[in-house]
C-alpha cells in the first residue's frame, strides 16, 4: 500500500510475493482482499505490517483449522517496547524469539492465553485485524472485506459480522505469539478523525448501529461531533494542537 515496493531480502527460505494496492487513505480492506485472492493455499493468516510472528504460527494455524475447519482464530499478541540492541542474532536477519518473548507484554484488555490451546469466543466483536487466521473457504463464504471502508477503522468489525452471518466461529489460539513492534500512538486517534467518522457512518448504514463507540464518545466529549437524534454530525474538526496533544509517550505500547 506504499508508493515504493519494500526491499525483499535475498535468500529467504520461502517465497515472498509483493502485490501493490494503490489508494489513499490506506485501503486496508482492499489490500487484504487482493492478498486472499492471490493466495494459492487453503489457509490464510493475516498480520498487520508491524507484527512479527513466532516460529509456531503456521504449525498452530494448520492444527487449529484441522480441528475446526470453519473457525476463525486469534493468536496471542504481545507488545514490544522501543527498539534496542540484542533482539537480532549476529547475522542481523534471524529473529531472536527468546528476546522477543522476554520483552513482549500482553495487552491488559486481552485474554491471557497461557496454557490455552483453542478456546471459543462468544462475541465476534473481539475480531482483531492485528492477527487472525481462517480457511480460505471461510473467507470466501463471508464475501471478503467491504472495500468501501478506507482509512482507519471499522473494516474488521464489519468483517466480523460477515463471518458470524456465514456460520463461522471465533476462537482464541494459544501456542503461538505475534509480537507487535512499538510505534507512536494517539489516544484518541484524532489524526484519523475524518476516516473514523466516515467509516462509522458506513457501519451504521450497514448494520443499524455504531461501532468504534469508545472513540466517538471521546469525540463527543471534546465537542467535535454530535450523535443526538441517531445521526453523526461533525461540529468541528480537531485542531493540529489537539492532535499533537493526543500523542502518547514512548512508554505506551498498546494500539
Q: What is the mean pLDDT of residues 217-229?
A: 94
pLDDT tens readout for residues 113-125: 989 999 999 999 8
Question: Tell me, what's the pLDDT at 248?
Answer: 74
DSSP state of 255: -
Reply yes or no on whether the pLDDT at 247 is more than 60. yes
- 28 vs 50: CA distance, rounded Å: 14
Q: Structure pTM?
A: 0.88
Contact status, residue 80 vs residue 104, Cβ threshold 8 Å: yes
Kindly indicate the confidence band of residue 186, based on its pLDDT and cuts at 50, 70 and 90.
confident
Q: Is 7 helix (H, G, I), strand (E, B) or coil?
A: coil
Reply yes or no on whether the pLDDT at 90 is more than 50. no
DSSP state of 86: T
Q: What is the mean pLDDT of residues 123-139?
A: 93
Question: Under 8 Å CB-to-CB from 238, ≥6 apart: which residues?
Answer: 190, 193, 222, 224
CA distances from 101 to 53, 130, 254 (A): 11, 18, 16
Q: Which phi and psi (to 5°) does residue 193 adopt?
A: -55, -50
Question: Tell me, what's the pLDDT at 4?
Answer: 82
Q: What is the mean pLDDT of residues 174-194?
A: 89
Count H helices and E strands in the chain, helices first: 8, 9
Contact status, residue 111 vs residue 172, Cβ threshold 8 Å: yes
Amino acid at each position: 500500500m506504499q508508493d515504493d515496493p519494500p526491499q525483499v531480502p535475498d535468500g529467504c527460505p520461502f517465497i515472498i510475493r509483493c502485490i501493490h494496492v494503490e489508494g489513499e487513505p490506506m485501503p486496508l480492506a482492499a489490500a487484504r482482499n487482493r492478498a486472499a485472492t492471490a493466495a494459492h493455499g487453503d489457509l490464510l493468516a493475516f498480520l498487520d505490517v508491524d507484527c512479527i510472528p513466532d516460529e509456531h504460527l503456521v504449525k498452530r494455524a494448520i492444527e487449529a483449522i484441522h480441528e475446526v475447519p470453519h473457525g476463525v482464530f486469534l493468536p496471542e499478541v504481545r507488545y514490544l517496547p522501543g527498539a534496542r540492541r540484542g533482539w537480532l542474532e549476529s547475522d542481523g536477519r534471524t529473529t531472536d524469539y527468546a528476546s522477543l518473548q522476554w520483552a513482549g507484554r500482553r495487552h491488559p484488555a486481552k485474554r491471557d492465553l497461557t496454557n490455552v490451546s483453542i478456546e471459543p469466543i462468544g462475541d465476534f466483536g473481539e475480531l482483531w485485524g492485528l492477527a487472525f487466521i481462517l480457511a480460505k473457504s471461510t473467507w470466501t463464504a463471508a464475501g471478503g472485506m467491504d472495500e468501501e471502508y478506507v482509512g482507519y477503522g471499522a473494516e474488521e468489525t464489519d468483517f466480523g459480522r460477515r463471518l458470524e452471518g456465514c456460520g463461522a466461529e471465533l476462537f482464541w489460539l494459544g501456542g503461538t505469539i505475534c509480537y507487535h513492534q512499538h510505534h507512536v500512538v494517539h489516544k484518541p486517534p484524532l489524526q484519523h478523525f475524518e476516516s473514523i467518522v466516515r467509516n462509522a457512518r458506513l457501519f451504521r448504514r450497514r448494520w443499524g448501529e455504531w461501532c468504534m463507540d469508545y472513540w466517538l464518545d471521546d469525540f463527543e466529549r471534546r465537542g467535535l461531533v454530535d450523535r443526538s437524534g441517531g445521526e453523526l454530525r461533525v461540529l468541528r474538526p480537531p485542531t493540529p494542537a489537539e492532535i499533537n496533544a493526543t500523542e502518547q509517550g514512548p512508554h505506551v505500547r498498546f494500539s
